[in-house]
Structure formats: structure tokens, C-alpha cells
Amino acid sequence: MLHAILDAGLVAHVAVQDESGQPYVIPVGYGRRGDDVLFHGSTGSRLFRSLAAGQPTCLTVTLLDGLVLARSAFESSMNYRSVMVLGVARRLSGDDELDALRAISEHLLPGRWADIRHPSAKERAATLTLALPLDECSVKVRTGGPEDLEEDVADPVFGGVWAGHVPLTESFGAPVPCDNNTAGLTPTYIETWHRPAP
């Protein structure tokens, strides 16, 4: 389940604090390679440099699958799949870093790496690529409908309130070519991109 959730997500949130102790949560695109979560940022970012220097972090991925509508506010909820990863990231370099950048690209845009120009030496010098091991993780999943109290179901007023769940789905829209696009037809891999179903 851990790998399936990470493989279905597109955005992770990474926690880091600066030298004053101020915490930040940074959204990042990411990928998974084996038992590592991979992500990158700018070498000019003091926050990413802190992560590369060994500051402990917490990375989370959440997939929202629906709203749960109960007869009470307290029992109302959401259906979701989530992962929390704790640990210390390591900085990647050389061919390992290039392979990690490929893995991130292929996770976000499967099939795209083969078509696009790979990062130049200058671009790689401006990029700080990190791997966070999946050694300490927590997975939480909630599915199904509401868990109403029996007294709410039997109540003459609240028992008549609609209860159930509303699934949420995500889909990619139709590709829109840029003004200077000369490639012709949209590649099949772009037309068929989708997020894996729960």
C-alpha cells in the first residue's frame, strides 16, 4: 500500500526549518525509486541546503478520494490515502542524480524523458537532488461511508438528513499545444496520462 500511494501521487509536502527555527512546508514534485522518495530544488535555496546537510525532515503525500457526509458534524470526514515519511535525506550526485531526475520525470510524466532534452551541466549545477529513504513511514487510509451514531440514525430530525459519501476523482484535461509547437500530433503517452485508481 505504501508504494501504491506514493506511485499514485504527484505532489509531496516536505518539512524543513531555517536557522531561526521557523518551520516551512514546501510542496514538491517527486518520484519513487525502490525504497527512496526522490525530489529536487534549487542549490540556491537555503532550505534545500539544510535538508542536504542532514536536517531531519517529514515528507507527506495525501490523495483525497471523497467527502464523507454523516448526520453529525463530528462523524463527517473524508476518504483518503496518505503516507508520512520521517528521516534524513541524502544528496545525490553524478549518474545517480541523473537517474533520479529521470525517475522523477517518469513518475510525473511517464514516457516524456525519452523525448525531451536532458539537464545540461549548468542546469544540474543549479539543482539539488535528494533521496529520502522509506525506513520510517506511516500509512493511513479511510474508505467507505459515514459511521453515524445509532441515536442520530434513529433521531426523528437528524435521521432524515441525507448521509453517504461523494467520491472525488482527478483527471487530466485535453492537451493544449503552445503557440510555437511544431510537433504535429500529440504523443499517445500524453493522451493517455492518468492517475492510478484507488
Residue 196 lies in a domain: no
C-alpha span between 101 and 39 (Å, rounded): 8
* 197 within a domain of the structure (yes/no): no
In a domain, 37, yes or no: yes
User: Is 50 a domain residue?
Assistant: yes
In degrees rounded to 5, what are phi and psi of residue 26? -110, 125
Q: What's residue 197's pLDDT?
A: 64
Q: Are 82 and 5 in contact (CB under 8 A)?
A: yes
Percent of the chain with pLDDT over 90: 82
Dihedral sign of CA atoms 150, 143, 79, 15 in order: positive
Cα gap 192→194, rounded to integer Å: 6
pLDDT at position 192: 84
Q: What is the CATH number of the domain that holds 141?
A: 2.30.110.10
User: Per the domain annotation, does 76 fall within a domain?
Assistant: yes
Does residue 9 contact residue 85 with C-beta atoms inside 8 Å?
Answer: no
Q: Is residue 163 predicted with pLDDT exceeding 70?
A: yes
CA distance 30 to 91: 14
CB atoms within 10 A of CB 169: 9
- Count of domains observed in the chain: 1
Range of the domain at 63: 2-191
Q: What pLDDT was estimated at residue 196?
A: 66
| Grid cell in block for residue 127 | 539543482
Q: What is the mean pLDDT of the chain?
A: 93
